[in-house]
Amino acid sequence: MGCDTSKYAAVPLAEKLRLFEQVKADERFSHGLYGCYECGVCVAVCPSARFYDFSPRWIAQALAREDADLVYKFMNEDVWDCSQCFSCDKCPRGNSPGGLITILREVAVRNGLKSAKDALEGYGRIIYKILSTGTQVAPDMLQPNAFPDWGPHVKEISENLEWWRRALPPETLHTTETSWEVSEQTLRELYLIWYASGVMEMIKEVDEGLHMILTDVMEEKLEEAGFALDATAQD
């Protein structure tokens, strides 16, 4: 809870410092952190601070003090509570706690931290959808078992999906598995980006099963398009 790091006392300091170095090495890090007036504006405007034991100020201050113990604790717990709304960009010092959290999350994913795997549990189908189809949410995701708290209207949509999509005047929206029609060539280019930028390696760190499924979908299409996979490897 809060700033108690005792849960992670057994993790060697060297490991905590190794991860923190990756955070500091990110080109965006210095632009997101200029110090802290301790004014609390970031906390006052933060939606997550109202409903979780969460504070963007704690995170900015721990990073500014280079407190590797605390940064490790935040990287494992608090960062996943952030709403990524960037209300905290209101900081009078010019900090972006939300942007710093983006970096902390990326490092957690890239290193396959268990906390990242836990936070993304149940989220794999979304990653599959965006990486493989190029659109994040699709009409066919509107199923009553996925959104029970949205009431019977979701059931009505799912039962009428095929017809209601056909009743949309824009021709690109007659789809049910993607939000709009994405061309095959465009998808191949998107897959190339995932391979060439290291995203597929990140996926492998947090979800090997998902990585295998995505690889099956993408590699054949990349080869069909004449994109050599070995050429996509990062420098």
Partner 1 sequence: MPIDAEGVAKSSRVFHRDPETVKSVPIREQVLELEARGEWIAQRVPEPYAEVANKLGRAKKIPLARTWHHKSCGQCGHIPGYSTSIFWLHRKLGLDYHDPRDQTSCTAWNYYASATSNPTAQAAVALRNFAAAYESGYFPLIHCATSYGHYKEVREELIGSQKLRDQVRRIMDMMKKPMVMPEEIVHYSEWVHAVRDRIAARKVLDLSNVVATVHPACHYHKLVAEDAIYDPDIYGGQRTATVTATLKALGVQVADYSTWFDCCGFGFRHILVQRDFSRSFAVQRKIEVMKDEANPDVTVTHDTGCVTTLDQSQFAARAHQRRVGIPVLSEAQLCALAMGAHPYRVCQLHWHNTDTRKLLEKMGIDHEARWREFEADVARLKRGEIQFLGWEDADV
* CA 127 to centroid of chain Cα atoms: 9
Coil vs helix vs strand at 93: coil
Q: Which tokens is 20 given?
A: 């923190």
In this complex, which beta carbon is closest to partner 1, that of residue 7 or of residue 153? 153
Radius of gyration of the chain (CA): 21
In this complex, which beta carbon is closest to partner 1, that of residue 120 or of residue 218? 120
Nearest to 199 by CA among 211, 209, 187: 211
Nearest to 206 by CA among 126, 119, 135, 125: 119
What are phi and psi for residue 202, nearest 5 degrees? -65, -40
- C-alpha span between 105 and 108 (Å, rounded): 5
In this complex, which beta carbon is closest to partner 1, that of residue 13 or of residue 21? 21
Residue 24 beta carbon to partner 1: minimum distance, rounded to whole angstroms: 15
Angstrom distances, CA of residue 108 to CA of 22, 55, 78, 92, 205? 10, 19, 12, 28, 10
Residue 100 beta carbon to partner 1: minimum distance, rounded to whole angstroms: 12
Q: Which tokens is 199 given?
A: 């995203």
- C-alpha span between 106 and 79 (Å, rounded): 10
Residue 14 beta carbon to partner 1: minimum distance, rounded to whole angstroms: 24
In this complex, which beta carbon is closest to partner 1, that of residue 1 or of residue 228? 228
In this complex, which beta carbon is closest to partner 1, that of residue 5 or of residue 158? 158
Residue 182 beta carbon to partner 1: minimum distance, rounded to whole angstroms: 6
Residue 87 beta carbon to partner 1: minimum distance, rounded to whole angstroms: 6
In this complex, which beta carbon is closest to partner 1, that of residue 13 or of residue 137? 137
Residue 6 beta carbon to partner 1: minimum distance, rounded to whole angstroms: 26
In this complex, which beta carbon is closest to partner 1, that of residue 70 or of residue 203? 203
Residue 140 beta carbon to partner 1: minimum distance, rounded to whole angstroms: 9
Sign of CA dihedral 37, 38, 42, 45: negative
